Structure 1
Amino acid sequence: MGLESFTRNDPIFADESVLRDNYRPTELIERDAELSAYQSALRPVINGAPPKNIFIYGQTGVGKTLATRLVSDRLLEDQRQYDDLEIKIVSLNCKSVNSSYQIAVNLVNTFREPSDYIPSTGYPPSRIYQMLWDHLNALGASHLLVILDEIDSIGTNDDILYELPRANDNEHVDDTYIGVIGISNDFTFRDNLSARVKDSLCDEELHFPPYDANNLRHILERRAEKAFREGVLEEGVIPLCAARAANESGSARMALQLLYKAGDLARQRDAVSVCEAFVDEARQLLEEGKIKDELARLPVHSKVTLRALTNLHKAGETPVKRRDIYALYLKLCDEIGSDPVTDRTIHDRISQLRQKGFVEADERNDGISGGSYYLYDLRIIPEMVDEALDLQ
């Protein structure tokens, strides 16, 4: 049987793009209170006053980034009616950077032509910041808002979160008011900031809570009107997707992925409708994909540690003590030509693997003679680890 023709005769989807991650909706439903608070926090800007520094909290998929885009777009549109305002907004996703220095470099390059970009290393920090202040002074804008999405990616290297909010007070930037909007999935990130950054950055904090099942059902219903052909969704599909996502994460992204995958499965099977069975299958496939992605992103020595435990599991030698995992870890490091780390470091790596749900531990106590210790075993199927880490 050869290839079939590509056609636009899709019996399930009318416009599947509205369920995809890269879709850019023009509204954010079930977030009226958060949008109102966001606009209130930015009101000093439209009044020509110095902006507040805003910190946005909330887990993945609860509308933080979309809200920021919608509110920013509205602010830029509404400023046109005021002659004394010229608001500029610069947005940077910090996921690909890991330090204040790298953020400063990226901000400098935002104001330059590609042919004049500065490299990511080689300059002293003071020189990078002076370049940034020179660009900001040359803007000629009344306000500059710097949006730093996934700001927790920079860890404890938080100098940029002091320098930017204090740029006016420290007389680095004269005629342009500078404001910072930080967006984070990590609720503990602020606790780890230095005292001077806490004082400078967080004038206003906004929290985006997880969506509940009713919220998610309304979101899915609105998207489904555009995404699916009339009558193909069985009655229980959207409520089931909403309930699954609400129970596991409260993420609209997860709910949309689940609905889209269920529809895609129906299309693959030449089904005439999307039923609840496709939702259950989609959930399992998405969970497996998420685990494989997490496995693939593990640091090298975490991968080797997990490989050691997986091999012990396959040989029927689990549960095992940490020393047995470490002994095999050392052999595997020798096989791949990698310098091993200490037993204590591997203890930390195993703890991280436990937190991710890949490893389980059973505490034992042999009394005075043996003391307390843990026995470890693999918590996910070894075939999944084999596929993700290319184990043999």
Structure 2
Amino acid sequence: MALFSPDTDIFCERDALREDYQPEEIVGRDQELQQYVSALQPVINGDQPANIFLYGKAGVGKTACTRYLLHELKDDAAEFNVDLTTIRTNCEDLSTSYQVAIQLINDLRDPEDHLQPTGYPRRQVNQWLWEELDGIGGTIIIVFDEVDHIEDDSILYQIPRARANGNLEHSKVGIIGISNDFKFRETLSSKVQSSLCEKELQFPAYNANELRDILRQRADIAFYDSVVPHEVIAKCAAFGAKDAGDARQSLDLLMEAGDVAVERDADQVTVKHVDEARELLERSRIVDGVAGLTQQGHLVLYALVMLHEEGETPTRARAIQDRYEIVCDRAAVEPLVPRRMRDHLGELSMLGIATREERNKGESGGRYYEYSLDTNPDLLLEALDETVDMVGVTDAIQKRLDHDI
């Protein structure tokens, strides 16, 4: 008997639930698609493409809509004899305009002609970039995903102005920037803002109804008939809407629930499978998130866990700083200054381990942030076991640990 055999009961095409799967139709984004189509219209007219910036949290459809519309745009461009080339670059690991330019050149060149990451004069790199782009000709759209990772904005200024500055003769280039940071535009210099951000589209979080439509669409492809009942779709959508309106989270949860059903040798995915899957994903997220923190990050987090267990959250950064310094003293570690400690609180908020809420008390109290845990403290203490052993426990922490036993 074979150790491995194809699944014939639950999954039909499991990859349809993955982030990189491109559905034939986009659901839940009618208004955004209409605005996006309008912004891309100059391409079909043979005009200089507009520069477009998309903003929204992770998992709200920015990249999926971009892939879908550019695919449609290329098909329509071919029909109307418009010479169109699209280039996509993920900027997650690119922090400078120099690195972005090198990456673009390598994307356009054959592998044997690729440049090394460093060692070339900036002017020469720019010249090579213009030569590669102008050698393509026609209309070129460059997609910069996670564009907010670029710390200097010179390339975002140079590319839109390349034709006007005489660097390009045969090509018309437009940029699509995709960012999770709603405030990224504010970090750009005024000259870049005026030349780059022609069209800006905001992608709001999905609501539960929109998530249900997305999950139903994918489930009909990913699972065999009658395997995923309505209540499973509704629960996965409700969790996603409650967390952040994130379709990616809901799809991950549905896929994990399907995996649990396969492990249980079930005929259907059930609500109980969804609950088990959520616990597994939460545990994995916390373990990975905590593992990626520095020692100082662990100490800041443990200070926040202590305050949570004592009923002292939400609380301001200065209260966390006081507890954090006590934690550092017990660990025989030099504490960070308040500003650097707040950076670690910001990282915890970004990871979804903590929440940060702005408060405004008017003229008397001013504006400030309050922090609280947004994660199961049992799982956090489990992930922080080495820190707990090093620092020790308070009565409140000990009470929770005893209760867990």
1:200 aligns with 2:202: no
- Greater displacement, 350-359 / 286-295: 350-359
Q: Which runs of 4+ in 1 moved over 6 A?
A: 310-313, 374-378, 387-392
- State the shift of 1:97 in Å: 1.2
Residue number in structure 1 paired with 2:6: 8
Query: Alpha carbons of 1:268 and 1:88: their partners in 2 closer, same or farther (altered >3 Å)?
Result: same
Any gaps of 5 or more consecutive residues in structure 1? Answer: 332-339, 362-373
TM-score by length of 1: 0.82
The match for 1:48 is 46
Matching residue of 1:100: 97
CA drift at 1:164? 1.0
Asked whether the equivalents of residues 324 and 335 of structure 2 are also in contact (C-alpha less than 8 Å), the reply is no
Structure 1 residues 111-190: aligned runs within 5 Å? 111-139=108-136, 141-155=137-151, 157-190=152-185
Shift of 1:235: 3.7
CA RMSD of aligned residues (A): 3.3
Between the aligned partners of 2:229 and 2:157, the Cα distance in structure 1 is 53
**What is the SS of the residue equivalent to 1:381?**
helix
Question: In structure 2, do the counterparts of structure 1 residues 181 and 235 end up closer, same or farther at CA, with 3 Å as the change threshold?
Answer: closer
In structure 2, the CA distance between the partners of 1:225 and 1:81, relative to structure 1 (3 Å rule), is: closer
1:273 aligns with 2:268: yes
Describe the shift of the 1:106–1:302 C-alpha distance in structure 2 as closer, same or farther (beyond 3 A): farther
Alpha-carbon distance in 1 for matches of 2:67, 2:88: 9
3-state SS, counterpart of residue 101 of structure 2: helix
Letter in 2 for 1:351: L
Confirm whether residue 351 of structure 1 aligns to residue 345 of structure 2.
yes
2:56 to 55, 58, 62: 58
CA contact (8 A) 1:92 1:148 kept: yes
What's the counterpart of residue 396 of structure 2? Answer: none
Matches within 5 A, 1:1-392: 5-83=3-81, 85-139=82-136, 141-155=137-151, 157-298=152-293, 300=294, 302-303=296-297, 305-306=299-300, 321-328=323-330, 331=333, 342-344=336-338, 346-352=340-346, 355=349, 356=351, 358=353, 381-386=380-385
C-alpha deviation, 1:303, in angstroms = 4.2
Kindly indicate whether the alpha-carbon contact (under 8 Å) linking 1:295 and 1:389 is maintained by their aligned counterparts in 2. Answer: no
Taking a change above 3 Å as real, the CA distance of residues 388 and 264 of structure 1, as seen in their structure-2 partners, is farther
How has the CA–CA distance of structure 1 residues 9 and 94 changed in structure 2, closer, same or farther, with 3 Å as cutoff?
Answer: closer
**Compared with structure 1, are the counterparts of its residues 341 and 127 closer, same or farther at alpha carbon in structure 2 (3 Å cutoff)?**
farther
Note the C-alpha offset of 1:342.
Answer: 4.8
CA distance in 2, matches of 1:6, 1:134: 52
User: 2:200 aligns to what SS in structure 1?
Assistant: strand
Q: What one-letter code is carried by the residue in structure 1 that aligns with 2:284?
A: G
Give the unaligned 5+ runs of structure 2: 313-319, 357-369, 392-405
Seen in structure 2, the aligned counterparts of structure 1 residues 82 and 304 have a Cα distance that, compared at 3 Å, is: same
Q: Aligned letter for 1:326?
A: C
Give the letter for the 2:266 counterpart.
Answer: A
The alpha carbon displacement at 1:354 in A equals 5.2
For 1:174 and 1:389, how far apart are their aligned partners in 2? 63
CA 1:90/1:12 → structure 2, altered by over 3 Å: closer, same or farther?
A: same
CA gap of 1:128–1:232, structure 2 versus 1, over 3 A, is same
Question: Does structure 1 retain, via aligned residues, the 8 Å contact 2:257–2:273?
Answer: yes
The offset of 1:347, in angstroms, is 2.5
C-alpha distance in 2, partners of 1:98/1:63? 24
Partner residue, 1:335 = none
Q: Would the alpha carbon gap of residues 359 and 260 (structure 1) be closer, same or farther in structure 2, given more than 3 Å must change?
A: closer
% of aligned pairs identical?
37
In structure 2, the CA distance between the partners of 1:169 and 1:110, relative to structure 1 (3 Å rule), is: same
Q: 1:351 to 1:258 in 2, by over 3 A?
A: closer
Contact 2:12 2:223 in 1 (8 A): yes
Rate the CA distance shift 1:133–1:384 in 2: closer, same or farther, 3 A.
Answer: same
Q: Secondary structure at the match of 1:61?
A: coil
Q: Secondary structure at the match of 1:21?
A: coil
**CA gap 1:125/1:38 in 2 versus in 1, 3 angstroms:** same
Q: Residue 183 of structure 1 aligns to which amino acid in structure 2?
A: I
Q: Which amino acid aligns with 2:216?
A: E
Q: 1:73 to 1:350 in 2, by over 3 A?
A: closer
- C-alpha distance in 1 between matches for 2:36 and 2:290: 36
8 Å CA contact 1:245, 1:252 repeated in 2: yes
Deviation by residue 1:291-311 (Cα, 9 ceiling, x = unmatched)? 22322333x354464588599
